[in-house]
């Protein structure tokens, strides 16, 4: 992974590594700390997680868009939302999700036959949003409506750096207009799904008719959950899939190795959920992609005075955790700049690295990403079928570089030249 001419996010990552994984940003009057040292990550996310929440200026800005959905909620609200949504992302739901995804991805790949150059990121985003729309709302959105909603989600997600700009400055009003546009889609979904039976088990059905017999969610609470899911589903998995695919585009031998594994295990039929357990090299390459950091930063706020790394942090101090810095730290990963899936060849290697605080692309502890298993399953299914049907190489001779940061960090250019196999 090469940096753009000046990439402030990757500069923060590399500076954190140089400072041993714990560093206060030199901003006067602000107490902001980068944290990537393994034992400190474990403290913040697991051992003393109650002392590190989601208050303060960073999350106040994020809430302007997401509201108080699962990603930003605290206390009993968060616990209830997680309890209501968990069944939709449980292992028992993976079969249903795979059945939703397979025909949608086959249609997308069929369309590639009419193109020499394909933008991988755009294809992955289209797939993930189509699947997510069905998970949230069933058949209540047409294909054209999902496409339009995806465009609205793109404006909000990619404009996230504008959240801090006041409405009266250039960009501020436009960003709030983008939020209002996506709000319209959220409220449309709510209105249409209210017509369903209370026994409907879409995500919207679980929220409209909660099984815990608690108070019904308000219109605003429903909006916040949908908005959060759309933001998470729009980009996160697609960014990791794009980095995976671009790495293979530059390593033809590894691509061929994975294609041989798939041919041996699957043959000429579409890849199924059951096939994934026979594709260990594919899973290793996926884990290695996540190690290198498509999700470079996430945030916490100190809720009460604590000691961390021998430093007293007062209430209100801001913490920036960096999976990228942990994943690129040579103290934990020999030759971290090398893309080497064999790091994860030992069974349970990824889980052990997570427990040790060295590898946490989905977070860890009580606030670990609720869709961790579902996201990896969807990605592996899509990538395996892509490898079964196509080979590809970069469309540009330029080095692979990081793009703009907006909660995730995608490749700057994910266009490839494709060839059917």
What does the pLDDT look like over 73-94, one tens digit per residue?
999 999 999 999 999 988 888 9
Decide if pLDDT at 166 tops 60.
Answer: no
Q: Residue 397: which pLDDT band, with cuts at 50, 70 and 90?
A: confident
Burial-class residue 193 by CB neighbours within 10 Å (0-12, 13-18, 19+). Answer: buried
Condensed to tens digits (0 to 9), the pLDDT of residues 136-153 reads 999 999 999 999 999 999
Decide if pLDDT at 168 tops 70.
Answer: no
Highest mean pLDDT among 126-135, 290-299, 398-407: 126-135
335: left (phi over 0), alpha (psi -120 to 50) or beta: left
Nearest to 373 by CA among 362, 360, 386, 365: 362
Q: Residue 403: which pLDDT band, with cuts at 50, 70 and 90?
A: confident
Tell me what percent of the residues of the chain surpass a pLDDT of 70: 95
Q: Residue 280: which pLDDT band, with cuts at 50, 70 and 90?
A: very high
For the four alpha carbons of 78, 83, 86 and 90, in that order, the dihedral sign comes to positive
Looking at residue 334, the DSSP 8-state letter turns out to be S
Decide if pLDDT at 243 tops 80.
Answer: yes
Q: How far is CA 414 from the centre of its chain?
A: 17
Q: Residue 124: which pLDDT band, with cuts at 50, 70 and 90?
A: very high
Q: Say how far apart CA 6 and CA 3 lie, in whole Å.
A: 7
pLDDT for position 112:
94
Q: Spell out the domain ranges in the chain.
A: 8-420
Average per-residue pLDDT for the chain: 91
Nearest to 43 by CA among 293, 321, 324, 292: 321
148 or 234: whose pLDDT is higher? 148
Q: In sequence order, what are the residues at sequence separation of 6 or more whose Cβ sits closer than 8 angstroms to the Cβ of residue 242?
A: 120, 121, 124, 294, 410, 411, 414
128-142, 153-167, 292-306, 399-413: the lowest-pLDDT one: 153-167
Class of domain 8-420: mainly alpha
Q: Residue 164: which pLDDT band, with cuts at 50, 70 and 90?
A: low
Token readout for 21 is 């994984």
Tell me what percent of the residues of the chain surpass a pLDDT of 90: 76
Q: Say how far apart CA 63 and CA 77 lie, in whole Å.
A: 14
Looking at residue 328, the DSSP 8-state letter turns out to be T
pLDDT for position 169:
60
Decide if pLDDT at 362 tops 50.
Answer: yes
Q: Say how far apart CA 76 and CA 368 lie, in whole Å.
A: 16
Q: In sequence order, what are the residues at sequence separation of 6 or more whose Cβ sits closer than 8 angstroms to the Cβ of residue 280?
A: 261, 345
Span between the terminal Cα atoms of the chain, in Å: 28
Condensed to tens digits (0 to 9), the pLDDT of residues 28-87 reads 989 999 999 999 999 999 999 999 999 888 888 788 888 999 999 999 999 999 999 999
pLDDT for position 120:
96
pLDDT for position 337:
94
Decide if pLDDT at 1 tops 80.
Answer: no
Question: Dihedrals φ, ψ of 305, to 5°?
Answer: -55, 130
12-16, 180-184, 200-204, 249-253: the lowest-pLDDT one: 200-204
pLDDT for position 275:
97
Sequence-distant contacts of 215-224: CB under 8 A, at least 24 apart: 219/187, 219/190, 220/67, 221/68, 222/186, 222/190, 223/67, 223/183, 223/186, 223/187, 223/190, 224/66, 224/67, 224/68, 224/69
Integer Rg of the chain from CA: 21
- The answer to whether the CB of 325 falls within 8 A of the CB of 79 is no
Q: In sequence order, what are the residues at sequence separation of 6 or more whose Cβ sits closer than 8 angstroms to the Cβ of residue 169?
A: none
Q: Say how far apart CA 374 and CA 95 lie, in whole Å.
A: 10
Strand, coil or helix: what is 268? Answer: coil
pLDDT for position 3:
47
Question: Dihedrals φ, ψ of 141, to 5°?
Answer: -120, 130
């Amino acid at each position: 992974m090469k940096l753009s001419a000046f990439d402030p996010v990757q500069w923060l990552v590399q500076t954190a590594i140089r400072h041993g994984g714990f560093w206060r940003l030199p901003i006067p009057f602000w107490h902001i700390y980068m944290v990537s040292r393994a034992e400190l990550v474990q403290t913040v996310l697991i051992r003393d997680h109650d002392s590190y929440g989601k208050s303060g200026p960073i999350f106040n800005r994020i809430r302007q868009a997401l509201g108080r959905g699962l990603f930003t909620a605290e206390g009993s609200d968060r616990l209830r939302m997680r309890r209501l949504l968990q069944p939709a992302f449980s292992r028992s739901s993976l079969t249903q999700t795979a059945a939703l995804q397979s025909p949608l991805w086959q249609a997308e790949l069929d369309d590639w036959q009419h193109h020499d150059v394909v933008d991988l990121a755009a294809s992955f985003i289209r797939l993930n949003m189509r699947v997510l729309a069905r998970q949230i709302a069933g058949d209540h959105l047409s294909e054209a409506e999902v496409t339009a909603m995806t465009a609205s989600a793109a404006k909000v997600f990619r404009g996230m750096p504008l959240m801090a700009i006041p409405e009266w400055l250039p960009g501020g009003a436009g960003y709030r207009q983008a939020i209002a546009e996506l709000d319209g889609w959220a409220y449309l979904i709510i209105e249409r799904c209210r017509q369903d039976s209370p026994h409907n088990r879409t995500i919207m059905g679980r929220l409209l008719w909660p099984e815990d017999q608690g108070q019904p969610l308000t219109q605003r609470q429903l909006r916040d959950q949908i908005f959060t899911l759309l933001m998470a589903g729009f980009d996160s998995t697609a960014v990791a899939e794009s980095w995976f695919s671009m790495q293979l585009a530059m390593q033809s031998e590894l691509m061929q190795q994975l294609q041989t594994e798939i041919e041996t295990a699957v043959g000429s039929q579409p890849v199924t959920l059951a096939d994934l357990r026979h594709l260990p090299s594919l899973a290793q390459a996926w884990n290695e992609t996540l190690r290198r950091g498509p999700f470079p930063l996430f945030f916490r706020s100190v809720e009460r005075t604590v000691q961390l790394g021998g430093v007293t942090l007062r209430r209100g101090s801001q913490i920036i955790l960096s999976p990228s810095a942990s994943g690129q730290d040579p103290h934990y990963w020999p030759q971290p700049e090398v893309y080497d899936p064999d790091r994860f060849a030992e069974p349970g290697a990824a889980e052990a690295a997570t427990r040790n605080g060295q590898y946490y692309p989905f977070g860890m502890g009580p606030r670990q990403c609720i869709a961790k298993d579902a996201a990896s399953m969807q990605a592996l299914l899509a990538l395996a079928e892509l490898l079964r049907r196509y080979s590809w190489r970069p469309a540009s001779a330029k080095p692979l570089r990081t793009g703009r940061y907006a909660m995730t960090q995608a490749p700057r250019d994910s266009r490839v030249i494709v060839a059917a196999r």
